[in-house]
A and B are shown apart, each in its own frame.
Chain A
Amino acid sequence: MSLPAHLDPTLDDPTTRPPLVLGQPSFADITEQVSAIAERPKPPLWWTVSFAISLFFAVVLLAMLGYLFVTGLGVWGLNMPVAWGFAIVNFVFWVGIGHAGTLISAILFLFRQKWRTAINRFAEGMTIFAVICAGLFPAIHTGRPWFDYWLFPYPNQMQMWPNFRSPLMWDVFAVSTYFTVSLLFWYVGMIPDLATLRDRAKSKARQIVYGVLALGWRGSARHWHRYERVYLLLAALATPLVLSVHSVVSFDFAVSQLPGWHATIFPPYFVAGAIFSGFAMVLTLLIPIRKAFGLENIVTVRHLDNMAKILLATGLMVAYAYGIEFFTAWYSGNHYEAFTFYNRALGPYAWAYWIMVFCNVVVPQVLWFRKARTTPWILMVTSILVNVGMWFERFVITVTSLSRDFLPSSWGYYKPTWVDLLTLAGSFGLFLTLFLLFIRFLPMIAMAEVKSVMPQAGLERGPHRGHGQYWGEIPHQHEAILGGNNGEPH
């Protein structure tokens, strides 16, 4: 951090708000800087390489699915009693990842956290791709996806309805709703920037593609008005979803009566965990990319710092949940419950449990130190470890409880097969493939919104003024500014 003291973003001087965008760029600069990334004719080498790798794994995933569908679930390590393994673990993991995006774009928006503007587009993109990966697993985990439609309530000649008491049933709705809303939110937010890209487009093809995507956005006051209303509404819609989706996912476990699953603490515990892992994933992706594309001035260390703080906070919630689980197990006096937790810590899967504790409880504690929060590489390492830890959390919950439940005569041990492992790797491949395509062809920073938090926007009328209220009576020249044309003044 070789910034002059007056620009040190990590100093919060209440009298003067330090700028969210460093180096006092003009709107045009921002437009140029962000659009350029999506416009360069040839991607940088690192992009090509990592894209090739992720694409390879995405193909591996396809192969694994084909193998699974032809042969049957036996190719996974599942058995009796452990009838749920990697598929469910990955599902919960990816859904969790998704949460950061919605949280940043919706909740932080409603809370008027301006710093979100630099990262929300990016995070929302991540959400979409994570939920795609997540949605994949419930679809394949029966091994016979061609019957999945039975889970949907549709009129049929059998006069059969699905069982609305089943949490899996609720999942179907929760996840699909979540995906739809996130997608809309992401896309709607992107329209002005798409228009920018359209306007800057040199080739006809790009013009048409971006043009279609931009839905004929002209940046008129009416457009902005509608845009802001929709955005506000979607934010309001998405906010409860952040809580609902992972609560519902947690019901898959909490509603069943298996020791270690059957716990009232699960919904909040899972939501906290989701945000924890989500932010970790945002950091994991953001830190290298802001460096690679030289976006340090927009995604400033201050942003990293804030995210690190959220990471620390949610990390502590998760740690608390771990603790309280043990307490309830012991305090309930139910020896099945108690055993399940002793067994997690000391039983055959202790190795997984302690990996989880180390990554999710011990590691985040470094974030108490500003130095750690403001040093990208430390953050990077931390966030990666947190991701690992959160995957193992789901593994521990799912597998340990199943492998040793009520009747010791049916206890077992679950070992993933190579298919399990490659499927997991493949899901990362799919995720990164989509993500790399996103940063290659779409504006990964919400230009319009970033501009709105720059001093030139002239919107800084006191701390309580947020983005939502103004656009109704936006001064005309702002249309030009924010309309995302290449910024030549009238």
Chain B
Amino acid sequence: MGKAYWRSLDELAETPEFRQLVAREFPHLAEEIFDPKTRRDFLKLIGASLGMLGMAACRWPKETILPFAGRPEGRIPGVPQQFATAMALFGNALGLLVTSYDGRPIKVEGNPLHPESQGGAHLWAQASVLELYDPDRSQVVVQRRAGQRVVSSWEAFRDEFRGQLGALSATGGEGFWVLADGTPSPTRWRLQAKLADLYPKARWVDWDPLVRWQERAGLRQATGVSVVPHLDMSRARVAVSFGDDLFLRHPQAVANARGYAQGRRDLQNPLRLFVAEPVPTITGAAADLRLAVKPDRLSALLAALAEALAKAGLQLPAPLPSTPALGEKERAFVAAVAQDLVSARSSAVVAVGAALPPACHALGFAINLALGAVGSTVSYMPLPEVPGSGSLPELREALESSAVKLLLVLGGNPALTAARELGGEGNLRRAKTLIRLGLYEDETSRLAHWHLPQAHFLEGWGDVRTLDGVYSVVQPLIAPLYGGKTAEELLSLALGQEQSAYELVRETFAALAGSKGAEQAFRKTLHDGLWSEKLAGPVAVQLAGTGWLGALGVQDETKLAAWVLPDSKVLDGRFANNPWLQELPEPITKLTWGNALLLGPSTAKALGVRHRELVRLSWEGGEATLPAFVLPGVAERTLGLVTGYGRQAAGRVGDGVGVALRGLDAEGGALVVATLQGTGREGEVVSTQDHQAIDKLGLEALGHRLGELVREVRARNPVLPPEDKAELRPPMPWKERPFTGEYQWGMVVDLAACIGCGACVVACQAENNIPVVGAKQVAKGRQMHWIRIDRWFSGPAEEPGFAFQPVMCQHCENAPCEQVCPVAATVHSEEGLNEMVYNRCVGTRYCSNNCPYKVRRFNYFNYFKNVSQVTKMAFNPEVTIRGRGVMEKCTFCVQRIEAGKIAARNAGKPLVDGAVVPACAQTCPTQAIAFGNLADPSSKVAKLQQDPRAYGILTELNTRPRVLYLAKITNPPEEA
């Protein structure tokens, strides 16, 4: 409480560019005049008068209704249906429920039955709908003859493909390589095995930069078998992460977040999270004790921890490498961690970052084993052993010795993500024939002789397996929009038997389930979204061999080190063409539409780099020029970088957004930076929270305010002072009129659970047809998101505390916006909703001025003017598309409320608690958002509003918000 949070470093120090900004009266004026776009608009002047006349439309246009010729049974026009399917990402599977409206998938949600999801979904699942309807997806078979792009056909391809295979089969598949994207699909494994039978000499390489290869390597070294870890965060009471982004860039991110929240809510013995990381992630932001550490010291730190645990009597492999002298903070961190781990034992877990070398993962395993965590908080699952597997280095060798006759690239984008491992994407050209199946005609396709359109997972049959062996069928919701085929279909083509994806999946399932009752089982699997039986269980693993120990220890520390991670929104670049994700503010920096070089304030000072300054940095085998972003919490002499930007062949949205870091491992890792110098020029940094630098004065104000905005309690005594409750409803000077509605809607946001991942923002955007405005508009401060997640820093700049606060329309019972709207376009409903009526709004924007929370968004332009026909299929028909000059804001997903109410009334039953869930609450991996009927005292939300942690923001204005917040819970170790 009362702790001063602040927003960005522009605030901490009155920077020179701030003064400039203030000095310059109207900076961007010149730019505006000479910007060609505005000039073009200017020409529309001629049409102005005509446009006015156009307003005079008297009658509705003649509309036709096209009913089915024969309506399928059970299909009711205009009534959405949900189908279960699954999405593969990070080498794991996430069960999903997809809403289909008149045959169009329009919304993705987590599948409550699926263990990896439990109803939650990450932002990539949410955004996958837009990917499906992306007009830039490849739509035709393309052949490249001598660099000439020729549009071809599946038939033509099939013939040529047959010919090639015929030639290969003679030599048993000599020189036949497959480079697949590592989707964990049993059907694919089955076909892979078949392929190995048919072409014994063929080689299969799986490559996905997001699949934790180093971890797998490390575990193989440590255990002798190939296994992957599977966490159960909900059982953990002490969790330690060494540079592992458990809650976002992790195969189990959703389940981890859920487990974390559960652990936090156990107030008897709340989970405590330790994170040591070079660059802030949302995982670090959630930590009770966070250590900003230089990348190349992570392994040393890990070793030091092992040493401390060994001293405490745990069975750890010897000899541990001599750990270098630890800094004072590092020592404190290790001590605190060691103590908690020893006391927690089997309910502790140590996670090691995907980007760390194998040895670290091996040691991490050893520690978990010694703690007895294996089998409790973490278990190890076997990886399917498929014959004919090869590795990237082997492929590179083959390519360089021109031994590759036929290279089949299934998905992925190796030209971008495997460039370094393949010795430069150019090497791919050395394949005699390169056939590429992909969603987009991207960098890899440009090197390929054949590009084939791939079917999106929402339009093609398939199956996936979670790390712990849960089998789901990938059920399509729509026929392929662009005649794409799935990887499995292509494989079956390679096997000479053109089976459809559906047949292939059925075969696999038949093989799994056996003949008896296969039909029922399959139907049930489709319905539930997962098969009742698991394909694999944990294996008992032992420490086999300690050869890896030598690889531990620290590298040269004198140099600047960069910590590279896949971007938290576009990942390795695969989502670069997804406008929802591009415009989503990055959780920590709030950056949209691009990447930047993150560095800590002291490092920046030392290097003489200003915030927003363009800097040129170079490393062995590459260089890049990108804007610097001074961010608190980045370790000393450490630079934060993300891959996935600066795409050249992503599509109209993603091309040229951000800066590419060529020749870096897409899966991330530590990188030694050779040189770095500022250019003195300003770079383009578009962030949603720091539209404008804040001076000292503003900072002091923050000091007053933010302790009240984001309140904190200790886990030991999670109670707010009573006066916080008292201020919720100040007396009214007049007689109050009660709400007469049957339901009284309210919301509670638990700041102890919110990890700031941003899934709610994308979910809201998908549910409510929220437009994407683009970098230029965001830079002006015109983003349209109905929820914004405010990010606050606290404490010293070098090791700040973090807090996230989702702010949506607070649906004030005494709403300031309503009094000032001249046309009564925003009024209050009897159910306590603050209604915004688009078709009545004239656009005076007075409501926004008078809204203390500034949660209203205005359509400054017609942001739907250039939406392609296919993208329109993603719209939710239950929500009006807002035109220009109209105000909009969070509606508590009123379309869901109305649907729920009508359904309940028609069924003659009262609406049960939890029957109506807004998109944000539905998708939230940590269930931080509760929504429901306050009039029903037994409802979850009503109970939570009485929670001793509940408080409202700006309640002193007597706005009486219907949204309350639960104070953030901190649980630092005693010493710290």
Do A and B touch (CB < 8 Å)? yes
CB distance from A6 to the nearest CB of B (A): 52
Q: Say whether A79 contacts B782, CB under 8 Å.
A: yes
Instruction: Determine how close the nearest CB of chain A comes to the CB of B148; give it in whole angstroms.
Output: 42
Q: Answer whether residue B318 sits at the interface, using C-beta atoms and an 8 A cutoff.
A: no
Query: Which A residue's beta carbon lies closest to that of B49?
Result: A66
Query: Closest residue to A166 on the B side, CB-wise?
Result: B822
From 24 to 63 in chain B, residues with beta carbon under 8 angstroms from any chain A beta carbon are 25-29, 32-33, 38, 41-42, 44-45, 47-49, 51-52, 55
Decide: B44 and A83 in contact? CB cutoff 8 A.
Answer: no
Per-residue contact bits, chain B 825-865, to A (CB 8 Å; 1 contact, 0 not): 00000000000000010111110111011101111111000
Q: In the complex the two chains form, what is the Cα distance from A238 to B38 in whole Å?
A: 45
A146 located at the interface, meaning its Cβ lies under 8 Å from any Cβ of chain B in the complex:
yes
Chain A CB within 8 A of B706 CB: yes
Question: B44 touching A70 by the CB < 8 A rule?
Answer: yes
Q: Is the pair B823, A163 in contact by a Cβ cutoff of 8 Å? A: yes
Which one of B264-272, B383-391, B690-698 is at the A interface? B690-698
Does the CB pair B954–A406 fall under 8 Å? yes
Q: How far is the CB of B217 from chain A (nearest CB, A)?
A: 43
| Contact string against A for B residues 783-809, beta-carbon threshold 8 Å, 1 for contact and 0 otherwise | 000001011100000000000010100
Query: Which A residues touch B42, using CB under 8 A?
Result: 67
Interface residues of A in 60-111 (CB under 8 A from B): 63, 65-67, 69-75, 77-84
Q: Determine whether the beta carbon of B822 is less than 8 Å from that of A169.
A: yes
Complex interface: chain B residues within 8 A of A412 (CB): 691-692, 781
CB distance from B708 to the nearest CB of A (A): 10
Q: Which of B588-603 contact A (CB under 8 A)?
A: none
B45:A66 contact, CB within 8 angstroms? yes
Pick the interface stretch among A43-51, A335-343, A356-364, A378-386. Answer: A335-343
**Distance of A347 Cα from B849 Cα, bound (Å):** 19
Across the interface, name the chain A residue whose C-beta is closest to B41: A71
CA distance A376 to B791 in the complex (A): 58
CB pair B52 A146 closer than 8 Å? yes
Q: Which of A71, A80, A166 has the most CB of B within 10 A?
A: A80
Q: Which range holds the interface residue count of chain A? A: 35 or more
Give bound CA distance, A403 to B695, whole Å: 13
Contact of B22 among A161, A348, A416 (CB under 8 A): A348
In this assembly, does A470 line the interface, its C-beta being within 8 Å of a C-beta of chain B?
no
B850: contacting residue among A71, A257, A348, A415, CB under 8 A: A257
CB distance from A21 to the nearest CB of B (A): 47
Across the two chains, which residue of chain A brings its CB closest to B11? A408
User: How far apart are B710's CB and chain A's nearest CB, in angstroms?
Assistant: 10
Which residues of chain A come closer than 8 Å to B954, judged between CB atoms? 406-407
- Asked if B153 lies at the interface with its beta carbon under 8 angstroms from chain A, I say no
Please choose the segment from A137-145, A174-182, A473-481 that sits at the chain B interface, where 4 or more of its residues have CB less than 8 A away: A137-145
User: Chain B residue with minimal CB distance to A261?
Assistant: B849
Is B339 an interface residue when CB atoms closer than 8 A count as contact? no
A402 to B862 CA separation, bound complex (whole angstroms): 24
Residues A407 and B709 in contact in the complex (CB < 8 Å), given A63-B45, A335-B701, A415-B26: yes
For chain A residues 313-350, which have a beta carbon within 8 Å of chain B?
335-336, 339, 342-343, 346-348, 350
B704 at the interface (CB under 8 A from A): yes
State whether the Cβ of B821 lies closer than 8 Å to any Cβ in chain A. yes
**B884 interfacial contact with A, CB 8 Å:** yes
In the complex, which residue of chain A has the Cβ closest to the Cβ of B865?
Answer: A72
**Complex contacts, B44 vs chain A, CB 8 Å:** 67, 70-71
Residue A268 interfacial (CB < 8 Å): no
- Contact call A78/B846, Cβ cutoff below 8 A: no
Asked if A74 and B850 sit within 8 Å, CB to CB, the answer is no
Q: Is the CB of A165 within 8 A of B45?
A: no
- Asked whether, in the complex, the Cβ of B782 is within 8 Å of the Cβ of A417, the reply is no
**Residues B861 and A72 in contact, CB atoms below 8 Å apart:** yes
CB neighbours (8 Å) of A73 from chain B are: 843, 858, 860-861, 884-885
Are the C-beta atoms of B822 and A151 separated by less than 8 Å?
Answer: yes
CA distance A75 to B48 in the complex (A): 14
A69 touches B843 (CB 8 A): no
A373-426 contacts to B, CB under 8 A, are 402-413, 415-418, 421
Query: C-beta contact mask, B860-891 vs A, less than 8 Å → 1, else 0?
Result: 11100000000000000000000011000000
What residue in chain A is nearest B691 (Cβ atoms)?
A412
Q: In whole angstroms, what is the CA distance A324 to B397 when docked? A: 81
- Kindly provide the distance from the CB of B583 to the nearest chain A CB, expressed in whole angstroms: 15
B interface size (C-beta, 8 A)? 76
Instruction: Check B7–A409 contact: CB distance below 8 A.
Output: yes
B918-962 residues with Cβ-Cβ distance < 8 A to A are 953-954, 957
A168 in contact with B820 (CB, 8 Å): yes
Q: How far is the CA of A409 from the CA of B706 in the complex (A)?
A: 10
Nearest CB on A from B658, distance (A): 23
Partner of B849, one of A67, A83, A143, A160: A83
Q: Which residues of B contact A77 (CB under 8 A)?
A: 780
- Contact across chains for B824 and A161 when beta carbons are under 8 A apart: yes
Structural contact, A408 and B701, CB atoms closer than 8 A:
yes
Chain A residue with the shortest CB-CB distance to B859: A72
Interface residues of B in 550-591 (CB under 8 A from A): none
Could you say which residues of chain A place their CB within 8 Å of the CB of B821?
163, 166
Complex Cα–Cα for A407 and B848 (A): 13
Residues of chain B within 8 A (CB-CB) of A468 are: none
Contact B45 A74 (CB under 8 A): no
Residues on A with beta carbons closer than 8 Å to the beta carbon of B885: 72-73, 142-144
| Inter-chain contact A84/B845, CB cutoff 8 Å | yes
Establish whether residues B698 and A411, one from each chain, have CB atoms under 8 Å apart when the complex forms.
yes
The interface residues of chain B lying within 8 Å CB-to-CB of A71 are 41, 44, 861
B-side contacts of A455, CB under 8 Å: none
Q: Nearest chain B CB to A175's CB is how many angstroms away?
A: 13
A302 to chain B, nearest CB (A): 40
Does residue A29 face the partner (Cβ distance < 8 Å to B)?
no
Q: Roughly how many angstroms separate A397 CA and B701 CA in the complex, as a whole number?
A: 19
Residues of A within 8 A of B310 (CB): none
With the chains together, A449 CA to B55 CA distance in Å? 49
B856 touches A142 (CB 8 A): no
Q: Are A346 and B822 in contact (CB under 8 A)?
A: no
If the complex has contacts A73-B885, A142-B842, A168-B820, are A80 and B854 also in contact, measured as CB distance less than 8 A? yes
B973 at the interface (CB under 8 A from A): no
Q: Which listed residue (A147, A160, A168) contacts B846, Cβ 8 A?
A: A168
Interface residues of B in 1-22 (CB under 8 A from A): 7, 21-22
User: Is residue B322 within 8 Å, beta carbon to beta carbon, of the partner chain?
Assistant: no
CB-based contact B22/A406 at 8 Å = no
Instruction: Indicate if the CB atoms of A141 and B32 lie closer than 8 Å.
Output: no
* Contact in complex: A168, B852 (CB < 8 Å): no
Query: What distance in Å separates the Cβ of B725 from its nearest Cβ neighbour in chain A?
Result: 21
Residue A466 lies at the interface, judged by CB distance under 8 Å to chain B: no
Complex: how many Å from CA A74 to CA B849? 17
* Shortest CB distance B778–A (Å): 10
- Given A70-B51, A415-B28, A148–B842 Cβ distance below 8 Å? yes
CB of A162 closer than 8 Å to a CB of B: yes
A293 within 8 A of B: no
**Knowing A79-B782, A415-B26 touch, does A257 contact B48 (C-beta < 8 A)?**
no
Does A368 lie at the interface of the complex (its beta carbon under 8 Å from any beta carbon of B)?
no
Contacts A66-B48, A84-B849; is A151 near B842 (CB within 8 Å)?
yes
Q: Is the CB of B694 within 8 A of A411?
A: yes
Contact A150 B823 (CB under 8 A): yes
Given contacts A66-B49, A150-B842, contact A257 B807 (CB under 8 A): no
Rounded to whole angstroms, the CA-CA distance of A66 and B845 in the bound complex is 21
A160-B823, A252-B846 are known contacts; what are 13 more A-B pairs with Cβ within 8 Å?
A70-B45, A142-B885, A162-B823, A255-B820, A256-B820, A336-B705, A339-B704, A343-B697, A348-B21, A407-B790, A410-B788, A410-B854, A411-B691
Q: Which residues of A are interface residues toward B (Cβ below 8 A)?
A: 63, 65-67, 69-75, 77-84, 141-144, 146-148, 150-151, 160-163, 165-169, 172, 252, 255-258, 335-336, 339, 342-343, 346-348, 350-351, 402-413, 415-418, 421
- What would be 12 A-B contacts, judged by CB atoms less than 8 Å apart? A67-B44, A67-B45, A69-B51, A80-B781, A80-B854, A143-B843, A162-B823, A335-B705, A348-B692, A406-B705, A406-B852, A409-B689
Question: What are the 5 A-B residue pairs with the smallest beta carbon separation, nearest first?
Answer: A66-B48, A79-B781, A74-B860, A413-B692, A83-B845
